[in-house]
Amino acid sequence: MTLYHDLAEKTAALIAEGVLRPGDRLPSVRQTCRTHGIAPVTVTQAYHLLESRGLIEARPKSGYFVRARLGQSLPEPEMTRPVGHSTQLAVSDFIFEILDSVKDSAVVPLGSSFPSPYLFPLDKLGRFLAAAARHLDPLSTITDLPPGNDELRRQLSLRYLAHGASVSPGEIVITSGAMEGINLCLQAVTRPGDLIAIESPTFYAGLQASERLGLKVIEIPTHPREGISLTALEDALRHHPIKACLFMLNFANPTGSLVPDERRKALVELLDRHDVPLIEDDVYAELHFGPHAPLCSKAVDPNGRVMHVSSFSKCLAPGYRIGWIAAGRYATLIQRQKLSTSLATTVPVQIAMADYLKQGGYENHLRHLRRTLAAQEAMLVEAVEAHFPEGTRLARPQGGYFLWLELPRTVDALLLHRQALEHGISIAPGPIFSAKREFGHCIRLNFGHPVDARLRAAVATLGRLASSSQSGG
């Protein structure tokens, strides 16, 4: 950890513990230099980092002050309580109807599942892709069939190693995005009619995949900050023939929850005891706001039951459709599933991604992206807090780019969705994140786009519409 990161984290800890409170003035740059024996530029970098995370603010000619933790006046949602029985899915038509609304570029994309494409180095990636196409070895069209390009798999293995996990390139299967990865994993360990465990709420793509494969689901309660309830999961494993778990442990979509490291270890151990595989959808892990990435589940997977699914779509290359599975004991089975379904992921794109990772600019891009998202989160929370009705609850994520709002129960999220569209605003209504269409008074908002005047006005309009619904107007 660099000196300025270390200072920033120590200061953030003092704020979290209440030693430094909202409105308190931080020591001046000069004072901090004397106290810690560090250079002024180090202090300035640390304070800028804290400012980008919304923890402090600079006041002209006065110094730096602890910022009021925006969202503290809005209580956190409680643990979810889904109905415990299994569900035969019929959700796709409903979800497609909702998602059609986010395709129009004229609509304010608060309901989008994607961050702004302008956050990514697409010009640089384009140059790597052009070079890969020009210099394509004809033999690679054969050698890069599943499990995929050797160099890309080696680069991914190195990234796992940097996160504390020893993952051999031999167990990595390249896919056309994480969605294909989830489908391949489900196909490998389930059959039509089987039961899988999912989170409540959960990302709708998992519901769609499960419906397509003829699976039943049981929804496990989650906490909006710490994720899956291990107590509820253990009870479900004892009483139901669960064949697999499909969970999002890092900055879950839609709640933004993060399973703490110790509970993650306990989760993997629990599933190991019950001989149930974990399919982990982990596309947001690189988007952490703190200095360290969450614990990688593969680092605590001694028996290879974790199928770790990820992609570059949310953190580097939207539209390139490059994902992968660190498949553990299921690698051969999943490779065969890939061959029999889509045959291969586009070869030049695989080569381009491998070349980009080798040249070493990825970490710099990620640091900039994380700072941007953290700052946008703070700004969107500020707007929500200013405009949404009393009784609103808000989950504060530690990464990703989604806010989960629980509105007063008098608010109908589907009606709010339709009203918002009439004003040129998209939102993601809560029922699309549930097999039983629960969360009828909840919405998900995207802070992956610049919080500019247009977006602030949209939030004000949403707050007014929600307040009107609450009052019966």
**Total domains present in the chain:** 3
- Asked, for residue 410, whether it belongs to a domain, the answer is yes
Instruction: Give residues with Cβ within 8 angstroms of 421, minimum separation 6.
Output: 101, 107
Q: Tell whether the model's pLDDT for residue 18 goes beyond 90.
A: no
Q: Tell whether the model's pLDDT for residue 362 goes beyond 70.
A: yes
Distance separating alpha carbons of residues 185 and 221, to the nearest angstrom: 23
Asked if residue 280 lies in contact with residue 307, where contact means CB atoms within 8 angstroms, the answer is yes
pLDDT of residue 22: 76
Region 50-57 average pLDDT: 79
Q: What is the pTM of this model?
A: 0.85
**Cβ atoms within 10 Å, residue 72:** 13
Per-residue confidence band for 87, with pLDDT thresholds at 50, 70 and 90: low
CA nearest neighbour of 405 among 376, 383, 423: 383
What rounded mean pLDDT belongs to the chain? 90
Instruction: Give residues with Cβ within 8 angstroms of 405, minimum separation 6.
Output: 384, 388, 392, 393, 394, 395, 442, 443, 444, 445
Which CATH number belongs to the domain containing residue 33 in this structure? 1.10.10.10
Same-domain status, 110 and 135: no
Q: Tell whether the model's pLDDT for residue 104 goes beyond 80.
A: no
pLDDT of residue 102: 66
Same-domain status, 159 and 14: no
What length is written for the chain? Answer: 473
Helix axes 453-470, 413-422, angle to 10 degrees: 130
Which residues constitute the domain of residue 125? Answer: 121-361
Same-domain status, 357 and 437: no
Task: Rounding to the nearest 10 degrees, give the CA dihedral for residues 131, 135, 139, 142.
Answer: 20
Per-residue confidence band for 97, with pLDDT thresholds at 50, 70 and 90: low
- Asked, for residue 79, whether it belongs to a domain, the answer is no
Which helix (H) or strand (E) segment holds residue 156: the answer is: helix 150-162
Distance separating alpha carbons of residues 156 and 177, to the nearest angstrom: 14
- Asked, for residue 82, whether it belongs to a domain, the answer is no
Same-domain status, 160 and 203: yes
Distance separating alpha carbons of residues 449 and 467, to the nearest angstrom: 24
Would you give the DSSP letter of residue 435? T
Per-residue confidence band for 441, with pLDDT thresholds at 50, 70 and 90: very high
Distance separating alpha carbons of residues 407 and 393, to the nearest angstrom: 6
Same-domain status, 150 and 270: yes
pLDDT of residue 94: 64
